[in-house]
């Protein structure tokens, strides 16, 4: 891939993704395969003013080996240095950059039950620090083309050509292939804000979804929750873009207020395995039944990951005619597939969607209806004939989506 285009993408991530300010620290989390581009990003982070950049490399291959050979008690145990690290993060609030290029099938064959138990035992220990950091730091997820990911998308190509083609599509979907990526994102953020402002002016209390694939669903909204999209602002008054790419406008629904069935329209990559052709039934606000043609057991394990994993944490609006969906590529990567069409997420909700959220305690935000869970898993429900109708406080109907796309 052309180095000039990669450099522009790295600069976009540093300047608009994280929007690093002078003196801030940054943690970059990425797979070991991505050294060349990581070095480029690190350089751009320093040019943007970063004080120190720490890079945490990981490998799904090693994760698979750890899962196989470590005893459960050793997987559960949090070592002293691990605890000190998250304590340091909660105190210093470094920016966090996730560069995602994982193999969608990278953890096929692991003991998922063992992994789930270990995560469930570790989470309560880490949760106080996670809660302490919420909304206070800049973070961004962006993509890099891992070889195995590229080969899954383009199996007939050589590794080199597959990676190059995936790079091209990543950059195009990220508005970083042609022209000025930073200017492109400033314009994109402006467009998303206009749509958010319109939706927020409607004062909706409910969304109703219908599609010919069987989706028939309604979900309640929190009265003082806002629709958001694109750039966000942290409690430290730092503006950043958490997802590159991003096409969504989202909010967190009211916990425990939804009914009906949602059919997934794209496969879901979860914990290194693919769940496909599935649907979830909701009753009295929570998922009560789930079926899949592929990895049904893993799907149900996800829904029962903790007490509140069965509740929704997000509803997101993305036109079917989105730039990502128009590539006609199934990316097998949630960052891209969730921004191809409408989706919802099980698990953790976003407290910052509440108007004037900084005036409330975390407990008060939960009481308003923001779900809390150790997971946040998006799955795609958008289709070419999806209709979404919003119901406002006076029971008036507003057509939000018609035939899969914005109706306004």
Could you identify the residue written with the tokens 């522009």?
A: 8
**What was the pLDDT predicted at 34?**
85
**What was the pLDDT predicted at 1?**
81
Kindly give the confidence (pLDDT) of every residue in the chain, 408 residues in length, as a single tens digit, with 9 standing for 90 and above.
899 999 999 999 999 999 999 999 999 999 999 899 999 999 999 999 999 999 999 999 999 999 999 999 999 999 999 999 999 999 999 999 999 999 999 999 999 999 999 999 999 999 999 999 999 999 999 999 999 999 999 999 999 999 999 999 999 999 999 889 999 999 999 999 999 999 999 999 999 999 999 999 999 999 999 999 999 999 999 999 999 999 999 999 999 999 999 999 999 999 889 999 999 999 999 999 999 999 999 999 999 999 999 999 999 999 999 999 999 999 999 999 999 999 999 999 999 999 999 999 999 999 999 999 999 999 999 999 999 999 999 999 999 999 999 999
- Sketch the domain layout of the chain as residue ranges: 3-173, 203-406
Q: Are 340 and 367 in contact (CB under 8 A)?
A: no
Nearest by Cα to 9 from 30, 40, 31, 35: 40
Q: Tokens for 256? A: 């425990």
**What was the pLDDT predicted at 266?**
96
SS3 letters across the chain: CCHHHHHHHHHHHHHHHHCCCCCCCEEEEEEHHHHHHHHHHHHHHHHCCCCCEEEEEECHHHHHHHHHHCCHHHHHCCCHHHHHHHHHHHHHCCEEEEEECCCCCCCCCCCHHHHHHHHHHHHHHHHHHHHHHCCCCCEEEEECCCHHHHHHHCCCCCHHHHHHHHHHHHHHHCCCCCCCHHHHHHHHHHHHHHHHHHHHHCCEEEEEEECCCCCEEEEEECCCECCECCCEECCCCCEECCECCCCCEEECEEEEEEEEEEECCCCEEECCEEEEEEEEEEECCEEEEEEEEECHHHHHHHHCCCCCCCCEEEEEECCCCCCCHHHCCCCCCHHHHCCCCCEEEEECCCHHHECCHHHCCHHHHHHCCCCCCCCEEEEECCCCCCEEEEEECCCCEEEEEECCEECC
Q: Tokens for 10? A: 């790295």
Distance CA 309, CA 299 (A): 11
Q: Are 112 and 271 in contact (CB under 8 A)?
A: yes
**What was the pLDDT predicted at 272?**
87
Q: Tokens for 139? A: 């973070």
Residue 156 C-beta-side C-alpha neighbours within 13 Å: 0
- Sequence-separated (6 or more) residues with CB below 8 Å from residue 9: 142, 171, 174, 176, 181
At 199-241, the pLDDT tens digits run 999 999 999 999 999 999 999 999 999 999 999 999 999 999 9
**What was the pLDDT predicted at 179?**
81
Nearest by Cα to 346 from 219, 160, 216, 230: 219
**What was the pLDDT predicted at 297?**
96
Strand partners, 178: none
SS3 letters across 46-112: HHCCCCCEEEEEECHHHHHHHHHHCCHHHHHCCCHHHHHHHHHHHHHCCEEEEEECCCCCCCCCCCH
Q: Please provide the CATH number assigned to the domain covering 3-173.
A: 3.40.1830.10
Give the sign of the dihedral formed by CA 242, CA 246, CA 249, CA 251. negative
Q: Write the burial class of residue 4 (CB in 10 Å: 0-12 exposed, 13-18 middle, 19+ buried).
A: exposed
Nearest by Cα to 226 from 262, 201, 192: 201
- Sequence-separated (6 or more) residues with CB below 8 Å from residue 82: none
**What was the pLDDT predicted at 61?**
95
Q: pTM for this one?
A: 0.91
- Sequence-separated (6 or more) residues with CB below 8 Å from residue 217: 208, 209, 210, 258, 259, 260, 261, 262, 282
Distance CA 322, CA 339 (A): 8
**What was the pLDDT predicted at 80?**
97
């Amino acid at each position: 891939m052309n180095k000039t285009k990669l450099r522009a993408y790295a600069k976009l991530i540093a300047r608009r993704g994280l929007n690093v300010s002078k003196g801030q620290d940054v943690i970059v989390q990425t797979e070991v395969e991505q050294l060349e581009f990581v070095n480029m990003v690190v350089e751009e982070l320093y040019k943007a003013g970063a004080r120190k950049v720490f890079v945490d490399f990981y490998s799904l291959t090693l994760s698979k080996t750890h899962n196989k050979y470590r005893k459960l008690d050793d997987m559960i145990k949090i070592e002293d240095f691990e605890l000190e690290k998250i304590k340091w993060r909660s105190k210093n609030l470094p920016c966090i950059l996730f560069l995602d290029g994982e193999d969608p099938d990278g953890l096929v064959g692991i003991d998922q039950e063992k992994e789930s138990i270990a995560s469930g035992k570790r989470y309560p220990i880490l949760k106080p620090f996670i809660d302490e950091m919420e909304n206070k730091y800049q973070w961004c997820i962006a993509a890099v083309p891992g070889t195995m990911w590229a080969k899954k998308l383009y199996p007939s190509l050589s590794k080199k050509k597959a990676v190059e083609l995936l790079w091209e599509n990543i950059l195009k979907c990220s508005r970083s292939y042609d022209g000025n990526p930073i200017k492109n994102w400033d314009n994109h953020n402006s467009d998303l804000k206009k749509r958010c402002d319109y939706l927020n002016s409607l004062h909706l209390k409910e969304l109703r979804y219908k599609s010919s694939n069987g989706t028939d669903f309604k979900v309640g909204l929190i009265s003082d929750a806002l629709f958001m999209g694109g750039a966000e602002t942290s409690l430290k008054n730092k503006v950043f873009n958490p997802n590159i790419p991003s096409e969504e406008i989202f909010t967190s629904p009211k916990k425990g207020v939804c009914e009906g069935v949602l059919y997934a329209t794209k496969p879901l990559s979860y914990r290194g395995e693919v769940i496909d052709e599935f649907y979830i039934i909701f009753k009295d606000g929570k998922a009560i039944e789930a079926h899949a043609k592929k990895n049904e057991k893993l799907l149900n394990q996800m829904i029962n990951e903790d007490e509140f994993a069965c509740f929704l944490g997000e509803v997101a609006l993305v036109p079917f005619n989105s730039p990502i969906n128009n590539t006609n590529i199934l990316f097998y990567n949630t960052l891209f597939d969730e921004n191809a069409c409408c989706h919802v997420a099980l698990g953790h909700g976003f407290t910052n969607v509440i108007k004037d959220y900084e005036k409330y305690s975390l407990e008060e935000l939960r009481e308003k209806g923001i779900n809390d869970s150790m997971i946040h898993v998006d799955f795609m429900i958008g289709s070419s004939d999806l209709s979404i109708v919003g119901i406002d406080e006076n029971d008036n109907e507003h057509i939000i989506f018609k035939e899969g796309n914005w109706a306004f």
